[in-house]
Amino acid sequence: MIDLVASSQLMRMVILMGVFALVMLLSLLISMAVARQARVRRSLRGLAGFESDVGEASLSTRNRDAWTRLVARIERAGISLSDTREDSLRQTLKAAGYTSPAAPRLYSLLRLLLVVGLPLVFVTLVVAHGRQVSPVGLYLLGCFWAGVGLYLPMLHVRLRAERRREAIINGFPDCLDLMLICVESGYGMEAALDRVAREMAVSHPQVARLLTEATLRQRAGASREAALRLLAEDADVDEVRSFATLMIQSDKLGTSIATTLRVYAAEMRERRRMRAEEKAHRIPVLISIPLVTCMLPVMIGVLMLPAVIVTIRKLIPAMLGAGA
């Protein structure tokens, strides 16, 4: 049999085609199994809602408790981590998503560690490499790294707060559309908030987290007005404040919540479209900067190069010959 296969080209081709078909069949079966598992996983994630978020939340809660105990231990040792502008600092950290009561003290601790740690790391590296640096230069560079350690956490918090606001602004029109569908389907306000939060847990997690907190506050006994006002305060976004005000007024005056949501959702979609058009209109102005700095010198050089070559080869020798 082996001799027949070795001597017959047709048999070798048949065996190779069979092996190829077998490999393709196994690959197809494996890909179908993986796709089926992915569909089941997505279905389970959709049914479970926030189960993974609950696990992550419990882990983050344990980490937050550990940091809180560390801060309390440092303050018991006699080092005060309180800030003179603690209210404004707490509001800034809340806008960035840091809602822990110990967040301002952790922020002060981090800045203190960076102010002391970065210059020490710099001095250690200079000494380890054996570089000769004057005392004045060492002092100035140490002050520079201390300033970096002082302002780096502030820059991080501001950038994080800006990204969070942008995520909330971009996701809130979709939230209003889903809430309008839920209200028109017969859901109450609390049930609509809870359902929209579950539906937007993956696409817009920041908005989903705000709605979940508002729902939990109402279930804990807070009034709808108080929950909506706290929702607007936590979001720190003008669109969410307007939404909370409209819902409170609709609830007090007895007007239709569905009508209010429909009008405000249309307005929010229009605002999002206008923001997109504004960014699109800024592109020609922004693209002109790299165009002028990078492409324009190259184009001028390409256009001027033939004239320069002609000048070097013909005009300058002719002028030198005429002068001689």
| pLDDT tens digits for range 207-244 | 888 888 888 888 888 888 888 888 888 888 888 888 88
**130 in helix, strand or coil?**
coil
Q: Where are the beta strands (DSSP E) in the chain?
A: none
Q: What is the Cα–Cα distance from 324 to 322, expressed in whole angstroms?
A: 5
The CA radius of gyration of the chain, in Å to the nearest whole number, is 33
Q: Is 199 exposed, middle or buried (0-12, 13-18, 19+ CB in 10 A)?
A: buried
Residue 250 contacts residue 263 (beta carbons within 8 Å):
no
pLDDT at residue 55 in the model? 44
Residue type, 77: A
Burial 38-59 (b: 16+ CB within 10 A, else e): eeeeeeeeeeebbeebeeeeee
* Confidence (pLDDT) at 58: 44
Compute CA distances 9 → 1, 3, 15, 303, whole Å. Answer: 13, 11, 10, 63
Specify the pLDDT at position 94. Answer: 80
pLDDT at residue 46, rounded to an integer = 55
- pLDDT of res. 49: 47
Per residue of the chain (324 residues), give pLDDT as tens.
556 555 665 666 666 677 767 777 777 778 777 777 776 766 665 555 444 444 444 445 555 666 677 767 766 766 666 666 777 778 888 878 777 777 778 888 888 888 888 888 887 887 777 777 777 777 788 888 888 888 888 888 888 888 888 888 888 888 888 888 888 888 888 888 888 888 888 888 888 888 888 888 888 888 888 888 888 888 888 888 888 888 888 888 887 888 888 888 888 888 888 888 888 888 888 888 888 888 888 888 888 888 888 888 887 777 776 555
Cα–Cα distance for residue pair 231/207, rounded to 1 Å: 10
Quick one: pLDDT at residue 23?
72
Residue 63 CA to residue 204 CA, distance in Å, equals 24
Phi, psi at 167, each rounded to 5°? -65, -40
Write down the pLDDT at residue 221.
Answer: 86
